[in-house]
Amino acid sequence: MRKSLFISTIVMVYLIVSGCSYNSVKKIKADYFDIGLGQSLYSGYNKVEQETVQSLVDAYNQIEYIGQTNQQINYEKAITITFIYNDQISGTLVIDDKGVFHLSDSVENFQIEPNNDIYEQAKNIYNDLKQQY
């Protein structure tokens, strides 16, 4: 009896710890996106290839974060991405160059895992789209 209680306690502690250490975003889909940096905003509608849209959606869906942070987003360097699916907003991401980000479905700021390159990818897409305008 004690042995099974001990094992079940170990399993519960493991599940609680491992469940709390893994933070990820709610998965989204998108047909296109709008993207901005600072005060400028560009629409990707009919200007961005579907592979690019899917690549950015995949990067969004793979976001894992360390946890909530008290750091403020540097809006001068922040990229804002609004994902649109079936003419409705499916998700919004605001992320700065330090990896501090905010999602449309939360009020807190989070710190992205250091191995995620969504900011660099989004900045390259933003620069490509900016040249088209």
pLDDT of residue 23: 76
Q: Which of 22-26, 41-45, 85-89 has the lowest mean pLDDT?
A: 22-26
pLDDT at 31: 96
Mean pLDDT of 11-39: 73
How many CA atoms, within 13 angstroms, populate the side-chain half-sphere of residue 122? 30
> Going by C-beta distance under 8 Å and a sequence separation of 6 or more, which residues neighbour residue 71?
98, 100, 109, 111
CA 15 – CA 8 distance, rounded (Å): 10
Our measurement of the distance from residue 70's CA atom to the centroid of its chain's CA atoms, rounded to an integer in Å, reads: 17
Put simply, whether the predicted model's pTM sits higher than 0.95 gets the answer: no
pLDDT higher than threshold 90 for residue 8: no
